[in-house]
Chains A and B, each alone.
Chain A
Amino acid sequence: DGGITQSPKYLFRKEGQNVTLSCEQNLNHDAMYWYRQDPGQGLRLIYYSQIVNDFQKGDIAEGYSVSREKKESFPLTVTSAQKNPTAFYLCASSIRPRELEAFFGQGTRLTVV
């Protein structure tokens, strides 16, 4: 079955550590996205990629980094510069950049301990 797989589902990080969240899709979609979800705030866009080897900052990119070396993969690194990283992170994809019907993964809940 085609879809978006995020791993791990739960992740714990010590302060000062970098962690990488995985996102893989087998839908052959060109565009991929990372969102952060906090209670009562909806979803906020962190990074966006239209094609391989290209990505743009979203609304809250500070303290995060991404790569897009393969069409199927769009990993997100939460760096130690992100001061409040505890949140639910959602990866999504759409068939084309201008096609905004997005398909979402199941999310990764990151907790700083």
Chain B
Amino acid sequence: AQSVTQLDSQVPVFEEAPVELRCNYSSSVSVYLFWYVQYPNQGLQLLLKYLSGSTLVKGINGFEAEFNKSQTSFHLRKPSVHISDTAEYFCAAKGFSGGYNKLIFGAGTRLAVHP
């Protein structure tokens, strides 16, 4: 089955600490991978994407992610978080179903940054 798994539903962290949000994908999805951020009661904003090339991808707001094919992972990292990073983060991958391409989303990880 095509799936994306976010291993932590919530991640609490103190301001200026590093953070890693974990994402694993099933081998049946293609390796087009995305991280989105959602602030309360808002839509999703693209943080970064991996389509091909370098396995370390840099995104907006100081985030980066590393594609690891052998571990089927695409973990999101930031070396020093701010209060404003408090949000929900979604990992997604390209899948194929019913004759069309679609994004398959993980369940989300709620990042809570504390002062």
A→B interface (CB under 8 Å)? 4, 6, 9, 40-45, 48, 50, 56-59, 90, 92, 97-98, 100-107, 109
Contacts and interface: CB of A to CB of B under 8 A. Distances in A.
B74 interface: no
A42 B108 contact: yes
Nearest to B4: A42
B67 interface: no
A-B pairs with lowest CB-CB distance, top 4: A104-B43, A42-B105, A104-B44, A43-B105
Interface in B18-44: 32, 34, 36, 41-44
Contact of A105 (B9, B43, B103): B43
Interface residues of B, number: 24
Contacts of B105: 42-44
Interface of B: 9, 32, 34, 36, 41-46, 49, 90, 94, 97-103, 105-108
A41 B107 CA distance: 5
A106 B97 CA distance: 26
A40 B107 contact: yes
Nearest to B97: A59
A107 B103 contact: no
B20 to A, nearest CB: 19
A100 B102 CA distance: 7
A53 to B, nearest CB: 16
Nearest to A103: B46
Contacts of B90: 42-43
Contact of B101 (A9, A57, A98): A98
12 contacts: A42-B105, A42-B107, A42-B108, A57-B98, A97-B100, A100-B101, A101-B46, A102-B103, A104-B43, A105-B43, A106-B42, A106-B43
Contacts of A45: 102-103
